Amino acid sequence: MAACLFCAAWYSKACTVWHHDVAVCHNGRAPSFVLSQTDTNQSMPMTPRKRLFINTATSFAAALAFASAAFLSHAQDAAPATPTATADAVAPAVISQVGELSSVPAPALGARAWLSLDMNSGQVIASENLDERIEPASLTKIMAAYLVFDALESKRLTLEQTVHVSENAWRTEGSRMFIKPNSQVSVHDLLQGLIVQSGNDATVALAEAIAGSESAFVALMNEEAARQGLKNTNFMNSPGLPHEDHYSTVRDLGTLAANLIKRFPQYLHYYSQKEYTYNNIKQNNRNRLLWADTTVDGLKTGHTKSAGYCLIATADRDNRRVLTVLVGAASDSARAESSLKLLNWSFQNFDTVKLYDNERAMVTARVWEGEAETVGLGSETPVWVTVPRGKAEQVRPMAQYQQPLIAPLGKGAQVGEVSLSLDGHVLRRDSLHVLQDVAQAGFFSRMIDKVRLMFE
């Protein structure tokens, strides 16, 4: 008995000349090429050595074809591949805040809601009433500034460009820059009025310059909020004046502030500016922490009677940045004191370390049917993790990725994820990507790998 080269079925080889000479196999299938035990040139007799070579090659090819057919039949019947852990493990519980693993509790803060966020890792260190709807007051101006910075980067505005101050902008109630109606003021001056002085009039003037009207600008604010995934935020005006449908959460405000810092670092100097004088009126930045701590370099205050005293603050210590959001404090001094307590607690009781560079493989995975037998899997960006102080070396990675990995593979293709855990709790998850291209191997190498896969 022998295996048919073209249909992988078994048949009797009693005849001396194989039936493939007639260009059909014993099942009637038409082959793409013809092999024979006899020489096609009848004028040249076949030598024993030549016959042995052809018999060996034919049997090897038949075996490969049989194995390939069996493999393909098995693959058609099998379920699609699912991510598989590289090591057997019980799925750890997920935590939302690193502070849950710390033996040092967060300080008592006199505020309605608050958040501490490590910007290097993107992890929430601790929070209270994270998703409770709150009134953002002038913290709203972070979104207004975000859109102004975006207009500057896209060249729709320039810092030197002058903006017409409308009656509507001039009449805006609340904190003011004291710009004059029907005057021309540069974007650079208006930005200082918006950020340093928290001027509502400056905010509306910039909104009208970008969108034509404040209402159109507010629509852009809400579009940007949706784009950033701020699910519990809605704006009704650009400066942050009280309105029952004007709301946010400390989670959303933290996300917005972090996005502004990461995308527009070239404009952060406005937030560390301690004072600004316009129209012979000098006003100090309302963020007291700029004087209390030299590592604090922003970000924004807010206050209305209904919202209380609010502050988003950020500090950079030894190339580690922490962002805090605090709303509903009883006084200006209380919001500053509580925010500094939260910053100090976050820096002193937690470490943030870079575990992997974006070019370093977290996992070396087996590749099938490729020119290379292995490929590195890792993250497209550096992987940072925040942990309670002294526990960085106890972080354990667990990778899950698609198996088998079949070439060709393109650099950057996502094939799984890696979980970073501490004491049985997942700190964060990151996607796993192919770090190098892997080309498909030749025909026979692929056939050999198909056979090997049958026994994996």
Task: Give the model's pLDDT for residue 160.
Answer: 97
Q: 75 CB contacts (<8 Å, ≥6 apart)? A: none
The mean pLDDT of 234-252, rounded to a whole number, is: 97
| CB of 322 closer than 8 Å to CB of 260 | no
Q: 148-172: per-residue pLDDT in tens? A: 999 999 999 999 999 999 999 999 9
Q: Are residues 197 and 343 in the same domain?
A: yes
Task: Specify the CATH number for the domain of residue 449.
Answer: 2.60.410.10
Q: 352 CB contacts (<8 Å, ≥6 apart)? A: 118, 120, 121, 320, 384, 385, 386, 387
Q: Are residues 334 and 191 in the same domain?
A: yes
Q: Are residues 52 and 120 in the same domain?
A: no
Q: Which of 434, 415, 426 is nearest to 82 (CA)?
A: 415
**Is residue 264 scored above 70 in pLDDT?**
yes
Which positions are annotated as active-site residues? 138, 141, 198
Q: 394-441: per-residue pLDDT in tens? A: 999 888 888 898 999 999 999 998 899 998 899 988 899 999 998 988
Number of structural domains the chain divides into: 3
Let me know if residue 103 belongs to a domain.
no
Is residue 158 classed as helix, strand or coil in its secondary structure? coil
The helix or strand, by DSSP H or E, that contains position 431, with its residue range, turns out to be strand 425-434
Least reliable range by pLDDT among 60-74, 161-175, 291-305 = 60-74
Provide the domain limits for residue 33: 2-77
Q: Are residues 69 and 89 in the same domain?
A: no
Whole-structure pTM value: 0.77
Indicate the pLDDT class of residue 320, thresholds 50, 70 and 90: very high
The mean pLDDT of 93-115, rounded to a whole number, is: 91
Q: Are residues 44 and 144 in the same domain?
A: no
DSSP 233: -
Of 311, 328, 350, which marks where a domain is finished? 350
Task: Give the model's pLDDT for residue 247.
Answer: 98
**Amino acid residing at 405:** L
Going by DSSP bridges, is the β-strand pair 425-434/414-422 parallel, antiparallel, or unpaired? antiparallel
Let me know if residue 343 belongs to a domain.
yes
Indicate the pLDDT class of residue 79, thresholds 50, 70 and 90: very low
Strands in 330-424 per DSSP E: 350-356, 363-368, 374-378, 383-388, 396-402, 405-406, 414-422
Task: Give the model's pLDDT for residue 94.
Answer: 64
Least reliable range by pLDDT among 78-82, 98-102, 380-384, 427-431 = 78-82
Task: Specify the CATH number for the domain of residue 310.
Answer: 3.40.710.10
Of 350, 385, 418, which marks where a domain is finished? 350
Going by DSSP bridges, is the β-strand pair 162-164/184-186 parallel, antiparallel, or unpaired? antiparallel
**Is residue 26 scored above 80 in pLDDT?**
no
